[in-house]
Structure 1
């Protein structure tokens, strides 16, 4: 899915954060506010943080002072020209909370398209679908599975792509893969490079990836093939392609999808996102965190790519490695990672030409 094709940026937007803005459960809301190329967020709905602004809550440089209000009614009053309403939280189980129905109804009645990353598809809800039709707006379910004719097994055609491909992988879940991908994309664009990116999660699609899929909705046999197709599509239009990874190769719960992304993208270089402060996997206390060196070995053993750099929130605590380590929220962090990526891709190209 490419929401760039459905909306005309910058689209005036309201984000429903449901008392999770600035928290990990509100990562979709956080990501859209900080990074979207498609949606211009004009108000955030979060009762608990009403009266504050997005820059105060997120505490990140460059974040706009978007007002946080207590209700969708207040947001629509404040942003009467809103064209999109984004569900910015993924509740447990991915179901539609009953309390959100009135918010969605109000947004539809005000003429807003609704963008959702829930496992419950709004388009299959008879009431909401009928209301959307009555008001001539669309419901976008970014996690909706691909059609059967869009599924195929990877065959290696990504090897023929003219673009350099860079995968942003990780040592665990929720370590900053999507944020690192977007920051690298932004740095590359600022450097004048012809760059695009591929999302593999719902937030990345909403932020404005040039192509994307909620990869956990793809049947296992076809995951690598779907990623390969997305990478090839973006590579046909750009010289450099960043790919958002998921989970970690040494993660017992999710390694299958991680490996499929690695093999489908078949990158020229990898940036590894890492949190050195964890003593167990996110949400899996019985799974100890892997060490960074082991994850690097996994990447380089299971692909032809080298790890070019490490993206870490806590650079001093990250164990020593033979590649640059940078924090994408530091002033020069994305540029340092991009320099390492460009060197690695150049070396990979030289090596391929000599063989």
Structure 2
């Protein structure tokens, strides 16, 4: 994990999110800004961003947005974080973002120039790219002590799934959802933050690149794992985290009914063996993200599927905006926006009620 790579954290970091920071493709940079304990963003590189700071995208933050790594050097960074993958590439056309994903390793010239310049300036490079930068000429440019870390690397020594291992201490909240990019990671980290604010010994199990950049108890890039080994890896991560915490939060990927990613989503759900599930949904979305020809599954059907596959009840629904909360309240479950008021508290209360019984005690812990 990232936290084991450097002796001193947080690192002062420039986030590279060129062309994408204010769009869904900028979710990694947005997540780092909102939640990272491993990185301290000091600047963001995005030539197309119209505002001089990050505040318009992530309220409550005020990080300068600049047009180049050279401009960012005046903020005395220690690292460049390439907070995009090749598939996040897009360009502004007539004021609108046109998503034009590229193949792994097919980087725009500006991306390569930015990374090379960062290395020449002595910065560490932490990359979310599919291309492995350590296998390029950049490795030969490193000075003593300078690092390139390819975040999207496979987990070494993949464990087998047993299905027999039970937790001895932690309760586990799994955050599932109806699609990609609906806010699962934000919900999971806000619930984790709410638990910590209550004095609960909470941990976070990361399943994707932003989770590792944010800082997590245990984590891996699950989508770099063969699907038949993914559940075993999640089981292993949860078991490693269990003895240290009373509560664990874990984020699923995509949707169990997603035609492309359902196998991955199911592996994470079943590998985590949850006690309660928070389900994230955007009621305004009718089609799959980047698959406009594929409609979302029926919401109630998907919730039932998650409960059947995961063996734990959906305790509450997370969404964005008060209008969304009102629309989803008809399902008869608690609904909240995790970024609005006490939204995270509502979701955590609902999860705790699953294992605390009708009296609703807040005690967390015990065996599963």
TM-score with structure 1 setting the length: 0.91
Q: Contact 1:109–1:135 at 8 Å: present in 2 too?
A: no
Cα distance between partner residues in 2 of 1:331 and 1:144: 37
Cα distance between partner residues in 2 of 1:19 and 1:281: 22
Residue 79 of structure 1 aligns with which residue? 75
Aligned pair count reads 343
User: Superposition pairs for residues 101-250 of structure 1, below 5 Å?
Assistant: 101-125=112-136, 127-132=137-142, 134-147=143-156, 150-250=157-257
Residue 48 of structure 1 aligns with which residue? 48
The answer to whether residue 270 in structure 2 is matched with residue 259 in structure 1 is: no
1:50/1:321 CA distance change after superposition, 3 Å: closer
Cα distance between partner residues in 1 of 2:192 and 2:295: 31
Residue 339 of structure 2 aligns with which residue? 329
Within the candidate set 327, 343, 352, 1:342 is matched to 352
Cα distance between partner residues in 2 of 1:286 and 1:124: 37
Q: CA RMSD in A?
A: 2.1
Residue 320 of structure 1: how far off its partner (Å) = 1.8
SS at 1:119 equivalent:
coil
Greater mean alpha carbon deviation, residues 105-114 or residues 167-176: 105-114
Task: Please list the CA deviations of residues 197-220 of structure 1 after superposition, one character each: whole Å capped at 9, or x if unmatched.
Answer: 111111111111222111111011
Residue 66 of structure 1 aligns with which residue? 63
Cα distance between partner residues in 2 of 1:48 and 1:135: 35
Q: Contact 1:111–1:135 at 8 Å: present in 2 too?
A: no
Cα distance between partner residues in 2 of 1:224 and 1:156: 9
Cα distance between partner residues in 2 of 1:23 and 1:258: 24
Residue 51 of structure 1: how far off its partner (Å) = 5.2
Task: Please list the CA deviations of residues 92-113 of structure 1 after superposition, one character each: whole Å capped at 9, or x if unmatched.
Answer: 2343333222211222222221
Cα distance between partner residues in 1 of 2:2 and 2:47: 28
Structure (1 or 2) with the greater helix fraction: 1
Residue 135 of structure 1: how far off its partner (Å) = 4.6
1:211/1:290 CA distance change after superposition, 3 Å: same
Residue 6 of structure 1: how far off its partner (Å) = 2.4
Residue 193 of structure 1: how far off its partner (Å) = 0.8
Cα distance between partner residues in 2 of 1:354 and 1:138: 41
Structure 1 gaps of 5+ residues are none
SS at 1:42 equivalent:
strand
Cα distance between partner residues in 1 of 2:42 and 2:154: 30
1:71/1:29 CA distance change after superposition, 3 Å: same
Cα distance between partner residues in 2 of 1:31 and 1:111: 25
Residue 17 of structure 1: how far off its partner (Å) = 1.2
Q: Contact 2:167–2:367 at 8 Å: present in 1 too?
A: no
TM-score with structure 2 setting the length: 0.88
SS at 1:241 equivalent:
strand
